[in-house]
Amino acid sequence: MGERIILHCDLNNFFASVSLLFNPTLVSLPVAVCGDRENRHGIILAKNETAKRFGVKTAETIYEAKKKCPELVTLPPLMEKYREYSKKAHCIYERYTDMIEPFGIDECWLDVTGSTLLFGSGEEIADRIRKDIKRELGITVSVGVSFNKTFAKLGSDMKKPDAVTVITRQNFREKVWPLPASVLLFAGRKTSEKLRSCGVYTVGDVANCSDSTLTRLLGKNGIELKRRAEGLDFSPVITPSAEDKPKSIGRSVTGAEDFTDAGMVWSTFLTLARSVSDSLRGHNLFASGVQVHIRTASLSVKEFSKTYREATNSGYIIAKRGIELLNQNYNFSEPLRSVGIRAIGLRESGAVQEDVFGNSEKQAAQEKIEDSVYLLRKKFGKSSITRASEKKQ
């Protein structure tokens, strides 16, 4: 079998680029998409190239961004439009291959090994995709071309925006090895700190580091990281099927104002958990656990989780478990900027266990009510029926 040809397509500044399609008079200005543009605690979700040049960064507050760039224009997110344009880009990829693996809303890997007879080399296919995206969608994409997924993704990061970068078996040591080790897939901040503590700074350093040192620092993940640095990533491009089930389902939100007590979080959890519940029902799944995610006003992130004997798809029960978990682990010594709740430990339907103390009967009744509400909302719209009250429990 010949060399694989893998592309990684990364839609440039995706949220900001799509938002500017609907605000064309702002194209030449520094622009950021924010969670809450009216509140100084809003978070930067994305920025255009002009804002980047001022040093505006994703995940910082609007207040911090505007200290760097006083003329920064902030726009609210257009999630439906982002999903629409992500699907349109996906349709363009499908012209060249049916082997497509999404990596978030704005990135995809494509295996075009079998497409070269029709469309030319990997670089030629990448350039055709780049031109199609620009001409038909009005946004740009950077494409990495390589013989594995790791290097294809690195290639898409090397030239932005609107570019194609080819990393081959012959040139990867020259192009990739001088880069910081943190650019490798799954080499996060903590991993990079551990590597630097032993004098391992670049991708080349990782490739040349001894197995024993990497195992001592990172366990078995150290050997996997070395294989990626050496170009030995053989992972396939996996196309999701309609039968694929999610491993967890969550929702989060940054409030218009900080959350200062459990009552404020409770009403938010009810809303978020309703959406989680709808997704569980759509996949015919039940959650045996709950995870709570919080970000404090000083941007410290904490997560708490717990599993239960009884799995559920009830939004009310998921919210109740979430607020109980939060109360057990956080005392609001500092306000919260954002909160999230996630259903974990997902099981197929029918996985609810019997409870000898009778809780399962009460839970089943709650779920039956919510099943009916779910069907009504599905038929008549999400706003057709809601809770009369979302007060603190």
Residues annotated as catalytic (active site), given as ranges? 107
- Rounded to an integer, what distance in angstroms lies between the CA atom of residue 315 and that of residue 270? 7
> What Rg value do the Cα atoms of the chain yield, rounded?
24
3 state SS of 290: strand
Q: DSSP of 26-74, one letter per residue?
A: GTTS-EEEES-TTSTT-BEEEE-HHHHHTT--TTSBHHHHHHH-TT-EE
Q: Name the nearest CA neighbour of 9 among 119, 116, 134.
A: 134
Per the CB < 8 A criterion, the answer to whether 32 and 95 are in contact is: no
Cβ–Cβ under 8 Å, residues 137 and 130: no
- Please name which of 210, 188, 334, 368 lies closest in space to residue 261, comparing C-alpha atoms: 334
- Rounded to whole angstroms, the Cα distance separating 236 from 147 reads 11
Residues 184, 203: contact at Cβ < 8 Å? yes
